[in-house]
């Protein structure tokens, strides 16, 4: 877990900072591990199914402008970039390199359905994406190098002329201006203006959150609302809600009140949260096992084998339903400890107890792409 500053506990972090105000956490990580190299990041950015961007800072006497290009990129192009003033950003790194998911273990006090992805950036000196704000909370973990940050909780006006592609704010000094080095972490709540610039070539690992918008539910739940753009918020998040894979009933209550629904529709709202939390981007959806692979894998499990959760697979559950990659099934009686173990360890490490209901559940999970299918000889 992150080493929080002073005597701050995870409970106190949630109370004072989560969704409320920025927090700089010097040396919150000993060293940033696991890490990836600039070359590995560059390689990811050449792949078709990986979302990547290059942002160039174009400096002139008058002002800075920011220009973005979308990947995939030719590796020769990446190798011949200028010495300064650009940054390469790659999204969903933990889905392509599952070992990188270990970085999420630094924030065990956040429900894992709220964690969206790990974005990793490499910035040449002078590089950055410009002053902006994001709609979601983020833990910005500094890897190698040095990055200067300006950030604030105050309002900063938009600057539509700063870029054609990016929604940027006016340059601002902010009430906080500091340099981050390896192991430092900066937490920002949704909407907090921030502006990072590499002082020395640097890598930044962003643990980014997600939160549904009213529009994500209003159609499915037939509850038209004028506040379609509002985001789910949980500034009152309680550490007791946090269990691997679990969508708490407090989460469904918050979503219901955001939607203006009574708690009578609690189960439907919780279901909508489950689908939202586990639905993958089309190009990141793992294939389900064929009927033949399913039976072979179950046999292997009965013989004491072990399965890893697929790197791209998203699993969650509430008190009634299990969700895997945007599909749901009724959670069998007594299956909660098994599902919690699978979500926590990202593996099914023990042979499944000969329980017909749980057997059916594992079969369903295999068909929905929950697990990496082992090669059979
Ligand atoms: C970056 O890693 O350059 C961008 C992080 C951010 O500002 O959200
Ligand atoms: Co940002």
Does ligand 1 lie within 6 Å of residue 127's CB atom? no
CB 233 within 8 A of CB 254: yes
Entry field: residues in the chain: 377
For residue 180 and ligand 1, the question of a CB distance below 6 A is answered with: no
- The arithmetic mean of pLDDT across residues 299-311, rounded, is 92
This prediction has a pTM of: 0.96
| Residue 94 · residue 103 · CB < 8 Å | yes
Q: In what order do the strands lie in the sheet with 194-200?
A: 176-180, 146-151, 194-200
Q: Which atom of ligand 1 is nearest to the CA of 188?
A: 8
The radius of gyration of the chain's CA atoms, rounded to the nearest angstrom, is: 22
Average pLDDT over residues 325-329: 97
Ligand 1 close to Cβ of residue 118 (< 6 A): no
Ligand lying closest to the C-alpha of residue 204: 1
- For ligand 1, pick from 121, 141, 148, 207 the residue to mutate: most ligand atoms within 8 Å of CB: 121
184 φ, ψ to 5°?
-75, 150
Mean pLDDT over all residues of the chain?
A: 94
What 3-state DSSP class applies to 179? strand
Q: Please give the distance, rounded to the nearest whole angstrom, from the Cα atom of residue 259 to the centre of ligand 1.
A: 31
Pocket flag, ligand 1, residue 196 (CB < 6 Å)? yes
pLDDT at 376: 64
Mean pLDDT score, 189-198:
98
For residue range 259-288, list pLDDT tens digits in order: 888 888 899 999 999 999 999 999 999 999
CA–centroid distance, 136 to ligand 2, in Å, is 9
Binned at pLDDT 50, 70 and 90, residue 303 comes out as confident
Kindly identify the ligand whose nearest atom is closest to the C-alpha of 143. 1
Local structure of residue 250 (DSSP, 8 states): H
Residues in Cβ contact with 289 at an 8 Å cutoff, skipping those fewer than 6 apart: 297, 366, 367, 369, 371, 373
- pLDDT tens per residue, range 78-114: 999 999 999 999 999 999 999 999 999 999 999 999 9
Tokens read off for 74: 């030719």
Domain boundaries, given as residue ranges, for the chain: 10-209, 214-278, 284-367
In angstroms, the Cα distances linking 331 to 323, 336, 344, 370 are 9, 8, 17, 15
* 220 band by pLDDT with thresholds 50, 70 and 90: confident
Pairing between strand 194-200 and 315-317? Answer: unpaired
- Cβ–ligand 1 contact at 95 (below 6 Å): no
Helices (H) and strands (E) in the chain, counts: 10, 16
* Ligand 1 atom nearest to CA at 195: 7
pLDDT at 228: 84
Q: Is 121 in the pocket of ligand 1 (CB under 6 A)?
A: yes
* Per-residue pLDDT at 352 exceeds 70: no
Which of 32, 128, 150, 163 most suits a substitution to test ligand 1, by most atoms within 8 Å of the C-beta?
128
C-alpha 247 to ligand 2 mean position (Å): 26
Return the sign of the alpha-carbon dihedral for residues 308, 341, 239, 264.
positive
Q: Which residues contact 166 (CB under 8 A, 6 or more apart)?
A: 55, 66, 68, 129, 130, 132
Put residue 27 in one of left, alpha, beta given phi > 0 → left and psi -120 to 50 → alpha: left
204 lines ligand 1 (CB under 6 A): yes
Q: Which ligand is nearest to the CA of 129?
A: 1
Nearest atom in ligand 1 to the alpha carbon of residue 204 is 2
Would strands 315-317 and 321-324 be described as parallel, antiparallel, or unpaired? antiparallel
What is the fold of 10-209? Jelly Rolls (2.60.120)
Cα dist. 343→31, 144, 339, 374 in Å?
A: 26, 30, 6, 19
| Token pair recorded at residue 244 | 């691997």
Average pLDDT of the residues in 333-357: 86
């Amino acid at each position: 877990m992150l080493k929080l500053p002073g005597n701050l506990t995870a409970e106190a972090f949630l109370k004072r900072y989560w969704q409320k105000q920025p927090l700089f956490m010097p040396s919150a990580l000993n060293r940033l591990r696991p890490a990836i190299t600039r070359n590995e990041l560059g390689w990811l950015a050449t792949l078709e199914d990986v979302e990547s961007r290059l942002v160039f800072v174009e400096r002139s006497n008058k002002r800075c402008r920011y220009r973005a290009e979308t990947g995939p990129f030719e590796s020769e192009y990446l190798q011949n970039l200028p010495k300064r003033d650009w940054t390469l950003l790659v999204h969903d790194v933990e889905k392509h390199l599952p070992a990188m998911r270990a970085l999420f273990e630094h924030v065990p006090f956040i429900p894992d359905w709220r964690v969206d992805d790990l974005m990793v950036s490499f910035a040449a000196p002078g590089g950055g994406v410009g002053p902006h704000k994001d709609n979601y909370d983020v833990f910005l973990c500094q890897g190698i190098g040095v990055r200067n940050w300006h950030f604030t909780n105050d309002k900063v006006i938009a600057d539509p002329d700063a870029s054609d592609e990016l929604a940027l704010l006016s340059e601002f000094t902010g009430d906080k201006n500091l340099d981050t080095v390896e192991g430092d972490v900066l937490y920002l709540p949704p909407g907090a203006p921030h502006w990072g610039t590499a002082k020395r070539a640097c890598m930044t690992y962003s643990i980014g959150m997600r939160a549904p918008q009213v529009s994500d539910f209003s159609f499915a739940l037939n509850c038209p609302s004028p506040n379609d753009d509002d985001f789910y918020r949980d500034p009152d998040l309680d550490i007791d809600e946090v269990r691997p894979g679990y969508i708490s009933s407090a989460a469904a209550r918050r979503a219901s009140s955001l939607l203006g629904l009574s708690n009578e529709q609690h189960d439907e709202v919780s279901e909508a949260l489950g689908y939202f939390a586990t639905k993958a981007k089309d190009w990141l959806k793992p294939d389900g096992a064929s009927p033949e692979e399913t039976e072979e894998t179950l046999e292997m499990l009965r013989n004491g084998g072990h399965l890893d959760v697929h790197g791209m697979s998203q699993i969650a559950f509430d008190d009634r339903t299990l969700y895997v990659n945007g599909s749901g099934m009724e959670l069998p009686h007594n299956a909660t400890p098994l599902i919690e173990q699978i979500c926590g360890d990202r593996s099914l490490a023990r042979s499944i107890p000969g329980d017909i209901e749980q057997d059916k559940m594992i079969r369903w999970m295999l068909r929905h792409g929950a697990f990496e299918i082992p090669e059979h000889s």
